[in-house]
């Protein structure tokens, strides 16, 4: 009974105030994720590769990309080692081998793909979209660190 009520309330709120409701749900999900990362000791684990190599991605298609301090609240080891989504590396390399006028990243989180693609594909306009205000600030931070003017941030793609 309680789950049905909760689901119905979320559905109703999405109907009357979709942007606000989705923002609240995204913030809650990220906070929960960050709590688990702390609880499982992954923040401490992040410090080992950062201390040894710095905050720069070591291998993979986005090698050399620097992950800024806001990103350090995420589980970064796969990103820093260059193994994050390793099964997609051939696809990302194929994408990077072509020219595009614009790339849209939906659910950009902290900008890993947005910055990586902007660095690899010259003269491409990258739009990074995320409804979580924290993610947008993290993307701004990583854009500033890389001085990547070709990346823009959009919270909501549709009004």
Note the pLDDT tens digit of each residue in 36-90. 999 999 999 999 999 999 999 999 999 999 999 999 999 999 999 999 999 999 9
CATH code (residue 42): 3.40.50
Task: Return d(Cα 114, Cα 24) in angstroms, integer.
Answer: 23
- Distances 94 to 89, 112, 117, 125, 128 between C-alpha atoms, Å: 9, 17, 11, 18, 20
105 is a domain residue: yes
- Distances 127 to 135, 139, 156 between C-alpha atoms, Å: 13, 11, 11
54 is a domain residue: yes
Task: Find the domain containing 77 and state its range.
Answer: 2-154
Per-residue pLDDT, averaged over 12-25, amounts to 91
39 is a domain residue: yes
Closest CA to 65 of 141, 146, 131: 146
Q: Output helix, strand, coil percentages for the chain, rounded to the nearest 5.
A: 60, 10, 30
Structural domains in the chain (count):
1
11 is a domain residue: yes
159 is a domain residue: no
pTM for this entry:
0.88
């Amino acid at each position: 009974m309680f789950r049905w009520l909760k689901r119905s309330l979320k559905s109703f709120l999405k109907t009357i105030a979709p942007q606000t409701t989705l923002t609240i749900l995204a913030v809650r999900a990220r906070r929960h994720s960050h709590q688990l990362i702390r609880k499982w000791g992954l923040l401490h684990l992040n410090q080992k590769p950062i201390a040894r190599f710095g905050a720069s991605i070591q291998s993979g298609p986005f090698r050399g990309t620097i992950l800024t301090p806001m990103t350090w609240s995420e589980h970064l080891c796969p990103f820093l080692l260059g193994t994050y989504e390793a099964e997609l590396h051939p696809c990302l390399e194929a994408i990077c081998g072509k020219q595009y006028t614009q790339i849209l990243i939906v659910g950009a989180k902290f900008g890993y793909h947005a910055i990586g693609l902007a660095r690899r594909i010259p003269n491409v306009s990258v739009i990074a979209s995320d409804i979580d205000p924290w993610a947008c600030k993290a993307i701004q931070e990583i854009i500033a660190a890389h001085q990547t003017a070709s990346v823009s941030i959009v919270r909501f793609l549709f009004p």
